[in-house]
Structure 1
Amino acid sequence: MTEHLTHSLRSDAQDNRVRILEAAREVFAAEGLGVPMREIARRAGVGPATLYRRFPTKEALVTEVFTDQMCGCRAIVDEGCADPDPWRGFCLVIEKICALHALDRGFTAAFLATFPKAIDFTADRDYALSAIAGLARRAKDAGRLRPDFVVDDLVLMLMANDGIRAATPAARVAASRRFAALAIQAFRASPDAPAMPPPGRLSFAVPLGAG
């Protein structure tokens, strides 16, 4: 009897975890990270105490929700860096990163956020940006990427891509694909391209909203 009860409790706890993560993924993708934790608990069909027992902070929940996307982001960057043609690899990163972020509004906010208690998440972002900086240097050396490109331009691009609003996810991805093509044209080296204004300091800090 005791063994059966313990198994049932563990099964219920696992079911609660799955429901919480599914609800969080859905609401973050549609509405961003500002949705309160209590609303996530309501949509998951669990009490707030159950939610906080599994995920004591929103940072912990966000990190768990977007682990797969961060792995996907890292894979895209690695694929681009492995291309022997640095400009082609750079373009691949731009196109696929924009598409990945277009599918999930919350992921862009999570990618740009600073979570003091989620060191691994921050490390993944820093890895991606550092690798892209190296790829950009190679593309500049090849004469294909404009020499005044800085990594913050990529961050600025992600912020602008996150501003795309469309009636359906498919329309949002299509608009993002066009935006990526425009960005690539802007980043391409051209002898008659005017110099860009100096870059501004961008902040990796996105409020997560009330609990």
Structure 2
Amino acid sequence: MATHKTTSDKPLRKDAAENRRRILDAAAQVFFASGLEAGVEEIARVAGVGIGTLYRRFPSKQALIDEMVGEMRLGLAAAAREATGREDGSGLEALVLETGKLQVVQWACLPQLWDHSNAEPEALAEFRTRTAELLETAQQCGRIRSDITPTDITMLFWALRGISETSHSAAPDAWQRHLEIVFAGMRPVTDGPFAGPLHTKALSATQVRKINR
């Protein structure tokens, strides 16, 4: 069950709910164009609401960002659940592709998506657990080489994040080519110089947490 809340648990009136949605949609638009440095005054203007209305729904800019991050994490968890239904081992590829699409749409929130926000922690945990399960299934089905680890997939998400942050305005699909290359490299290889096991150790979970900090 999600624990992240930015406003009262009471159901919003229809007009208040519509204002809240407009603010979130406007924030997505403004942050996409200008990054998280954009001011809430611009978000209110794009949403067509007063600054007081914005602050009634979201008491701080960080609360607004957290709400957006929470929605992204819920989307990741939903995508992971859907990918788990694939029994041919293709679920990992489908999930990484959906994750890449989400990241490029909300590139400005990426610094806070994976660790630096308290929004929807259960959804993020579910995503990570299911990603590891999907990797195992892909390996069992012979789609991914056996020495790929969950932290290798974490590094893939980092790489896609970096590409999305740097290329979204000029080449918004650049990350997809990188993804194709990476998955080609993760296929089992039967001959040639890369047929043997990987020589460099994968990152440990402790190293991943240290890097994120």
1:113 equivalent in alignment to 2:120: no
Say which structure, 1 or 2, has more relative contact order (CA 8 Å, 6+ apart): 1
Tell me which of 193, 196, 201 is aligned to 2:208.
201
Contact 1:77 1:128 in 2 (8 A): yes
TM-score normalised by the chain length of structure 1: 0.71
Counterpart-to-counterpart distance in 2, 1:166 and 1:155: 20
Q: Structure 1 residues 157, 36: CA separation in 2 closer, same or farther (over 3 Å shift)?
A: farther
Q: CA deviation at 1:36?
A: 4.2
Tell me which of 10, 26, 31 is aligned to 1:28.
31
Give 3-state SS (helix, strand or coil) of 1:35's partner. Answer: coil
Q: What is the root-mean-square deviation of aligned Cα atoms in Å?
A: 3.0
Give 3-state SS (helix, strand or coil) of 1:172's partner. Answer: coil
2:127 matched residue in structure 1: 128
CA displacement 1:42-99 (0-9 Å, x = unmatched): 544555444322112334312433555434322321222111122x222222222212
1:56 equivalent in alignment to 2:46: no
Structure 1 stretch displaced more, 54-63 or 127-136: 54-63
CA displacement 1:112-168 (0-9 Å, x = unmatched): 13323x3xx121111011001112122333444233323232232222212220445
Task: Name structure 2 gaps, 5 residues minimum.
Answer: 1-12, 190-194
Q: Structure 1 residues 198, 73: CA separation in 2 closer, same or farther (over 3 Å shift)?
A: closer
Give 3-state SS (helix, strand or coil) of 1:163's partner. Answer: helix
Counterpart-to-counterpart distance in 2, 1:113 and 1:23: 24
Counterpart-to-counterpart distance in 2, 1:64 and 1:70: 10
Q: Structure 1 residues 33, 125: CA separation in 2 closer, same or farther (over 3 Å shift)?
A: farther
Tell me which of 84, 88, 97 is aligned to 1:81.
84
Contact 1:59 1:115 in 2 (8 A): no
Give 3-state SS (helix, strand or coil) of 1:126's partner. Answer: helix
1:148 matched residue in structure 2: 147
Task: Name structure 1 gaps, 5 residues minimum.
Answer: 1-9, 206-211
1:7 matched residue in structure 2: none
Amino acid at match of 2:33: A
Amino acid at match of 2:105: L
Amino acid at match of 2:106: D
Counterpart-to-counterpart distance in 1, 2:63 and 2:34: 18
Amino acid at match of 2:133: G
Q: Structure 1 residues 18, 139: CA separation in 2 closer, same or farther (over 3 Å shift)?
A: closer
Contact 1:55 1:61 in 2 (8 A): yes
2:184 matched residue in structure 1: 185
1:98 equivalent in alignment to 2:105: no
Contact 2:147 2:198 in 1 (8 A): no
Counterpart-to-counterpart distance in 2, 1:193 and 1:152: 16
Q: How many equivalent residue pairs?
A: 189
